[in-house]
Amino acid sequence: MLACFTDNFSLCRATAAIGYLFLLLFSFFITISAACFNGNCQVLDSCSQATDCGPGLYCGNCPALGKSQPFCTRGQAIIPTSIIGGLPFNKYSWLMTHNSFSIVDAPSLQGVQRLTFYNQEDTVTNQLMNGVRGLMLDMYDFNGDIWLCHSFRGQCFNFTAFQPAINTLREVEAFLSQNPSEIVTIIIEDYVHTPKGLSNLFTSAGLDKYWFPVSKMPRKGEDWPTVNEMVQANHRLLVFTSVASKEAEEGIAYQWKYILENEAGDPGVKPGSCPNRKESRPLNSKSASLFLMNYFPTYPVETEACKEHSAPLADMIGTCFKAAGSMLPNFIAVNFYMRSDGGGVFYDLDSMNGQRLCGCKTIAACQAGAPFGSCKNISMPSSSPMTNTAGSFSGSVQFSKSASAVYYPNRVVVGFFSIPWMLLLL
């Protein structure tokens, strides 16, 4: 070898360069053969485009946790009743979206720039297709109709308005019609003063035929009917209002008579603390058999949601479980539900449903008809068994071509409302 360097340096260098190029090409092909693509990538696998990831996954990242390179991320829930069915409704845990209607890039129908906070990134239809089974809707009297608004002081303005509520309710009706075994819960932050306004609205949307009657709701913490009984009776829509008088006036259940709830906003995400909302009875009262766990900050920031939906969410579930006297949440309400560091709220729901339904670490390990505690041996985390009716992942969390930066309107709103003189308007 020394002779090569002293006698034929040029030839030696050329030979070495060819050898090095061969090694590079060999390494490249080995890497390509080992990499996943064309829908074969699983949770946490690196990806470069949407089609790399398997069913129910999208290609995203989480810079808030230092994870800037795109990886496959859960974007769809496992419907627990598809694995273990026939139990009372209150034995399951479901995903709920906070301000489900307050969608980034939703067009303004009032001809003015909307100035409010946004909480979700895809349509209500898409949310439902991705496994969301609870919707939080803020309803107001506005322009001679009932609108969905993200507003303040109990009044809807043209710059806080989204759309007539019937549009979203028709999305719910279409979903229930197309999915005859699914159950949806709607919680209304109610600013509607029109007499019979809500009951007429739901009737006009064609949802009255799915209505779960107040008279059949348990009032002392008893079990709810089984999901099979609810489906057979077509009582597949649960609706709750924040106005107590409407239970007698319109047959709409008063939320805090049937649901225990922790505090919303920043108090609900404070580590180690899970106080009850002031309208709710104490979380450990056992006087209601449904428990809603709010988990979203006062000011929603899309880029922080993936961090919020990682370890802190799991920790808060444990904190609220203890505060509620060893009762797991039936609903977890979040902003930007698809954002996480991999499994997110979907992984936590899988864990809760696995523990409560079959004694397993995840619902994916449950086996229908098997004794409690008989679990399939699966790896964690796992991708979920998806269906052909899955939603799409076309929101701003999706990196279909590149991991480019996304514009976040909530930052502008936070900055605007932080100006001292703006506080005089609130």
- pLDDT at res. 403: 32
Q: Is the pLDDT of residue 216 over 70?
A: yes
| Structure confidence by residue, pLDDT tens digits, 60-115 | 999 999 999 999 999 999 999 999 999 999 999 999 999 999 999 999 999 999 99
Distance between CA atoms of residues 279 and 330, nearest Å: 18
User: Phi and psi for 259 in degrees, rounded to 5?
Assistant: -130, 130
Q: Is the pLDDT of residue 17 over 90?
A: no
Distance between CA atoms of residues 244 and 239, nearest Å: 13
Show Cβ contacts of residue 189 under 8 Å, excluding neighbours closer than 6 positions. Answer: 136, 137, 138, 139, 242
- pLDDT at res. 50: 83
| Structure confidence by residue, pLDDT tens digits, 319-338 | 999 999 999 999 999 999 99
pLDDT band at 200 (very low <50, low <70, confident <90, very high): very high
CA distances from 319 to 156, 278, 295 (A): 36, 18, 12
Minimum mean pLDDT among 50-54, 75-79, 182-186, 399-403: which range? Answer: 399-403
% pLDDT > 70, the chain: 81
